[in-house]
Structure 1
């Protein structure tokens, strides 16, 4: 798991851009034209990844599921048997809490899932395993937050998964023996395509419940051409998601 994490960090921005700059510097004397080309490629990539306009374009490609309108929330009980909230990472050992906490992504998913659960009275499964083999599981952290902050109890905890594919596979092992075939799936809008595909491959019928839309950004200064640090962070996530969307059918398609 550690090597996988390291390779991912070096293969995606900003790690990959730093490696390109290092190569340009090392080649500056022996291959000056190549070094100059690498430098300008890195500069262009840095600028492109920092533009909100690029965020909106990438997100529009990924976010193909519409939001659930609030008038549909109470009707979910007639259409599904459970709500599944996907993990979104953790913040380790925050001194304010004296314990690991859900990441901002996970909190947004939990908040939305809690609203859906209260409106529909559907039971909830939270899914997420250990990070670097360190307990508690992400699902346990999510369940505690769901109960303490949103007054919603998670009926099931899936605590083994490390990827979206495993989220689906191990959730199926818990829910399908109980006869649950249709689920409401809660995750970020830009993650929903890959998540829905994974859960459908695991045998579920999925009602998408996306939130956290990046494509709905309001108008930006200079039409989104002005670089922003937030856009760089979001575009890096979106590139990772596009890569996963391409790789998952290659690795896991039945």
Structure 2
């Protein structure tokens, strides 16, 4: 698991760009032209990843599902039988919470949105997410606690085995099948919704997409988004990882 994680970080940006810069330094004397090409590719890649305008362009390709209209929240029960929140990691041992693991900012955004949908529609909620690197508590449990303590909504079910989006879908479908549920509202990031919807539909469920956290919008950034920002590096990394995952899923999970 650890070796796969390290390999992934080195092969995908921004890790691969740092590898190119190191290669440029290593090759500078024996193969100066190759070193120059590595330097340009590495530095150019890091520069592109730091641009908010690249985030917006990439997100526009991935965020194909529109936002759920607020007016439709109260009628969701006509189209679905449950709400599924997909896990998005955890913050381990946060001292502000007496060392108790907390949902990440992305996961909290999903939980907040799902709570509003649940209160408006009356639909039951399932949280989905397994152990992070094999250690408890599960992401599903952490989200369920936040759902209850922070938003006054209870999770009826917790799917605590999944490690990937594909497993989120497969294990959630198995759990919900025991209750005769075939239609679900899926809550996840807008840029993650394409892969999530496809995975849940492959598991046999009908999906009502409920994307949140859109990145492909104009956030009135200085210089039209051409000014480098550290936050954009993380966002572009997420988007690239999602694009690779979307292609990979359709290749290997059919």
Tell me which residue corresponds to 2:231.
230
Q: Can you list the C-alpha shifts for 1:195-249, whole angstroms capped at 9, x where unaligned?
A: 0000000000000000100011322211211111111110111000000011001
**Residue 96 of structure 1: SS of its match in structure 2?**
helix
Tell me which residue corresponds to 2:94.
94
Tell me which residue corresponds to 1:63.
63
Q: Bigger CA drift: 216-225 or 184-193?
A: 216-225
**Residue 245 of structure 1: SS of its match in structure 2?**
helix
Tell me which residue corresponds to 1:16.
16
Q: 2:76, 2:121 within 8 Å by CA — same for their partners in 1?
A: yes
CA apart distance, 1:116: 0.2
Gaps of 5+ in 2: none
CA distance in 1 between partners of 2:114 and 2:41 (Å) = 42
Tell me which residue corresponds to 1:200.
201
Tell me which residue corresponds to 2:129.
128
Tell me which residue corresponds to 2:189.
188
Q: Bigger CA drift: 187-196 or 3-12?
A: 3-12
Q: Bigger CA drift: 73-82 or 223-232?
A: 223-232
Tell me which residue corresponds to 2:7.
7
Q: Can you list the C-alpha shifts for 1:7-64, whole angstroms capped at 9, x where unaligned?
A: 1111122221111111111111110000011001111111111111111100000001
**Residue 209 of structure 1: SS of its match in structure 2?**
strand
Superposed counterparts of 1:1-254, under 5 Å: 1-97=1-97, 98-253=99-254
**Residue 135 of structure 2: SS of its match in structure 1?**
coil
CA distance in 1 between partners of 2:4 and 2:207 (Å) = 30
CA distance in 1 between partners of 2:114 and 2:129 (Å) = 15
CA distance in 2 between partners of 1:227 and 1:89 (Å) = 27
CA apart distance, 1:182: 0.6
- Normalising by the residue count of structure 2, what TM-score does the alignment of the two structures yield? 0.98
Q: Stretches of 4+ moved more than 3 A in 1?
A: none
CA distance in 2 between partners of 1:239 and 1:224 (Å) = 18
CA distance in 2 between partners of 1:33 and 1:167 (Å) = 47
CA distance in 1 between partners of 2:24 and 2:170 (Å) = 43
**Residue 208 of structure 1: SS of its match in structure 2?**
strand
Gaps of 5+ in 1: none
